[in-house]
Structure 1
Amino acid sequence: MSVAAARAPFVLPRAHVDIAVIGGGIVGLCTAGFLASAGCDVMLLDAGGSAASTANAGSLHVQMQSRFMRLFPDRVAGMERQLPLYPKAVAFWKEFERALDADFELKVSGGLMVAETPEQFEFLVAKSRRERELGLATELVGRDELARLAPYLGPHAIGAELCANEGKLNPLKCNAFVRAWAKRAGVEIVDRCRVDALASAGASRDAGFTLTTAGGALAARRVVVAAGPGARALMAGVGALLPVDPEPLHMNITEAVPPLILHLVQHAERSITLKQLSTGQVVIGGGWPARLAPGSAYPVVDPDSLAGNLALAQFMVPALAPLQVIRCWAGLNSKVDGRGVLGEMPDVPGLYAAVPGDAGYTLGPLSARLVADIVLGRDPGEDMTPYAPDRFAHERVAFSGAPAV
């Protein structure tokens, strides 16, 4: 490429599209792919950067995470309403892998939430009871059974909650497979294209929208916003409220070692996830905070989280102590109210939200399929009421300054 060509301004490949999908993470890619597979004209716009999917640690969660319950007690009721969707989401991941004839390194080998004190174990007793009432398959294991299931755990582990249908995958391989599938399905993917603003093109339902992007203006009849924390500002441009906030989180990965950790491991009280990839590396994450770079929305590593996360990991699994950490990074999680926001925005026909709930990577492909069905006018096969954007209507009144009706 010549220097002149390299310096040429970026221009969108075309100015009109039927459906624009904003956000190139797992939700955006899958939504665009499902729509294109149904014959729709779809363009996906991705700004790039350290988003949730590109920074994800690859956990497939089903049971309620103690970290979420501890940090956001006011949102537990919301998460409980979505809880039945999690085992369905893991099953959908397996179906999706088969349908794509892909290898996501997906393994559903069970998840252990570990207790180290009697008080923590009692917390797991109550949590497991509630989860079983809501339809989840979980069980409690004592010290002896835990030592048999997970001999790699340290001597402080006295019991755990076992959720058999939790697991893990390799998000880097998965994202690559899904992106290739979406392109084969006909999605026009435009990389490094930030959407700066979203505006309604007129009052009628068919007027559509205008997207102001780094590559020029794009007219779209319908728009799906799968931009995680960036969705809030985009929705505000058309007078819609989507209260999603960024949560910067920290992750690490070690050098490869022989098979050691067989489960997705969490703690009953402290923030951590541990899992081992099929290539041998151990991924250490679980919600330790990162920071936003000064003056930007870009997440950066917090040295305190690096030290604390690794110290807890080797305390729980002593065999991790001599391993070298080969990489650490930060990413942005999306916080709402414990539930996903999936569906058409109230009073803005043709505009759809595609933001899954907590553990959004787990919920990603299934959430995308549900939103695609709504866009296509199909029955999604799920009661979408708990995830509908209109549940924020009372907040939207205050947001817009409009009187209540």
Structure 2
Amino acid sequence: MSDALPASIGTVVIGAGVVGACVAGFLADEGQDVLVVDEGCGAGSSANAGSLHVQMQSRFMRLYPENVPNMELQLPLYPKAVAFWRELASSLNADFDLKMTGGLMVAESQDQLDFLGVKARRERQLGLDVEILDRARLDAIAPYFGPSIVGAELCANEGKLNPLLCNAAIRSWILARGVVLAEGVRVEGIARSGTGFAVTTTRGTVTAGRVVLAAGSGTRLLAAGMEPAITIPAVAEPLHMNITEATAPLIGHLVQHADRMITLKQFGTGQIVIGGGWPARQDAPGGHAEVELASLIANASLAQHIVPSIGNLRIIRTWAGLNTSVDGMGVLGAVPAIPGLFVAIPGDAGYTLGPLSARLVADVMLGRKPGEDISPFRPERFE
């Protein structure tokens, strides 16, 4: 990390999460000079629980039913995003503890199983590899569930990884490519300056030819402060997570629930991460996320209910992070009203989509046709 910001640079990326860091890395691989500025409030990537989601998450479908058409529109990107994680691990020669063992969304009633059946039929139409398992078939591949589980939807494309390993490897990659990383630095404003931009920060002003807004929910205020103002309705969602002590291999899949807030997965280290959307709190708009005791208790209790054998494990750490929600899909690409300005926000389950989203935005910036059609995700759709 550099102590002094450069007076000028080709590109400033705001946000050092997985998306911003990967945009910077892909640009630097092509010889571009890049500064990444990050306030360091521990938002999404640094607090991620390591799920590689592909199937539509029932939690988002319940919370934001109006966004389901957009979720479906972006759904085909998810299996490609998981495959891209594998490509990234190979290109960086890094161990991400990435396991493609499939994901199980479990049901505790026939109504829930029927809901999963309807969801699975639609997902198959959109290209996912999913099927419904009754309890007997579920026991054959996942005998660890408690007696309340009646069946599950199996998505073969899903998996899990260790975000601590991923984030460290990505950081090493971008630093080795000469990216200037300024952490603990807040961007206070962005203004047009000649054919480029003046980015005012708490450590001075940097002029840049291009700016990438990859600050998750923080992108909303940054975009609104531009001239002309840009509307990006990104909202912070503070979430709570827990991790247990290590134990013998137990949970092989990414586990979710058809109707309740839970995710479970086990790292190669043996530790089990318990998440799934229980709320945390945010100390102030744009500030840090903080854990909630009620969420810790409810999250752990539900995990034990679903997989009783984890009940004797100790929780060794809890933490909170900020998920970013927009309208059910990402915001990717150039801002036509302000040449040189780009937005890089993935959709729901943003860590899964992160590297692929970054690749698509970087391709646009490099004058290439991106490998996927990103026109539905264009920033100007909110104007």
- TM-score band (shorter)? over 0.9
For the residues of structure 1 that align with 2:285 and 2:224, how far apart are their CA atoms? Answer: 21
The aligned counterpart of 1:322 is: 312
> Which residue in 1 is equivalent to 2:221?
233
Tell me how far apart the structure 1 counterparts of residues 379 and 173 of structure 2 sit (CA, whole Å).
Answer: 29
Aligned partner of 1:65 in structure 2 is 57
Q: Classify the secondary structure of the residue corresponding to 2:312.
A: coil
Larger CA deviation: 356-365 vs 293-302: 293-302
Residues in 2 aligned to 1:261 and 1:11: alpha-carbon distance in whole angstroms:
44
Aligned match for 2:364, one of 370, 374, 378: 374
Whether the 8 Å contact between 1:250 and 1:329 is mirrored in structure 2 is yes
The whole-number CA distance in structure 1 between the counterparts of 2:3 and 2:51 is 37
Q: State yes or no: 1:95 paired with 2:91.
A: no
Of 182-191 and 356-365, deviating more is 182-191
In structure 1, what is the equivalent of residue 31 of structure 2? 39
2:337 is the counterpart of 1:352: no
Give the 3 Å change call, closer, same or farther, for CA 235–310 of structure 1 in structure 2.
same
Q: Which residue of 2 aligns with 1:110?
A: 102
- Which aligned pairs between 1:181-196 and structure 2 lie closer than 5 A? 181-196=173-188
Q: Decide which moves more: 384-393 or 53-62.
A: 384-393
**Deviation (angstroms), 1:41:** 1.1
Give the superposition deviation at 1:294: 5.3
In structure 2, give the amino acid aligned to 1:77: P
Of residues 271-280 and 290-299 in structure 1, the stretch that sits farther from structure 2 once superposed is: 290-299
Q: Report the Cα distance in structure 1 between the residues aligned to 2:58 and 2:3, rounded to whole angstroms.
A: 46
Take 1:332 and 1:13, find their aligned partners in 2: how far apart are those partners? 27
The Cα shift of 1:346 comes to 2.8
For the Cα contact (< 8 Å) 2:145–2:308, is it kept in 1? Answer: yes
User: In the alignment, which residue of structure 1 is the partner of 2:298?
Assistant: 308
Aligned to 2:263: 273
Q: Which residue of structure 2 lines up, in the alignment, with residue 220 of structure 1?
A: 208
Between the aligned partners of 1:308 and 1:131, the Cα distance in structure 2 is 30
Pair 1:19 & 2:20 matched: no
Q: Cα deviations across residues 311-368 of structure 1 (Å, max 9, x unaligned)?
A: 1000000011111000001100001000100001130110000000000000000000
Residue 56 of structure 1 deviates from its aligned partner by: 0.3
Cα shift at 1:12: 3.3
Confirm or deny: 8 A CA contact 1:139 1:163 kept in the other structure. Answer: yes
Equivalent pairs counted in the alignment come to 380
Residue 343 of structure 1: aligned partner:
333
| Matches of 1:16 and 1:33, distance apart in 2 | 19
TM-score normalised over the length of structure 1: 0.92
Q: Tell whether 2:71 aligns with 1:83.
A: no
Q: What residue is the counterpart of 2:146 in the other structure?
A: 154
- What secondary structure does 1:321 align onto? helix
TM-score (normalizing by structure 2): 0.97
- Aligned with 1:51: secondary structure? coil
Tell me the C-alpha RMSD between the 2 structures: 1.1
**Aligned CA distance change for structure 1 residues 270 and 190 (closer, same or farther; 3 Å):** same
Aligned-partner Cα distance in 2 for 1:296–1:385: 29
1:400 equivalent in structure 2:
none
Segment of structure 1 superposing worse, 84-93 or 302-311: 302-311
Q: State the identity %.
A: 59
Question: For residues 136 and 381 of structure 1, what CA distance do their matches in structure 2 show?
Answer: 19
C-alpha separation in 1, matches of 2:148 and 2:96: 33
- Quote the Cα distance in structure 2 between the aligned partners of 1:35 and 1:345: 18
| Corresponding residue for residue 399 of structure 1 | none
Question: Is the 1:12–1:216 contact (alpha carbons within 8 Å) kept by the matching residues of 2?
Answer: no
1:14-59 CA distance string (max 9 Å, x none): 2100100110110011000000101111111111122100000000
Give unmatched runs, 5+ long, in structure 2.
Answer: none
The question of whether the paired residues in 2 share the 8 Å contact of 1:339 and 1:358 is answered with: yes
Equivalent of 2:160 in 158, 168, 181: 168
2:190 to 185, 192, 198: 198
What's the CA shift for 1:249? 0.4
What CA distance in whole angstroms lies between the structure 2 residues aligned with 1:182 and 1:295? 30
Gaps of 5+ in 1: 1-9, 394-405
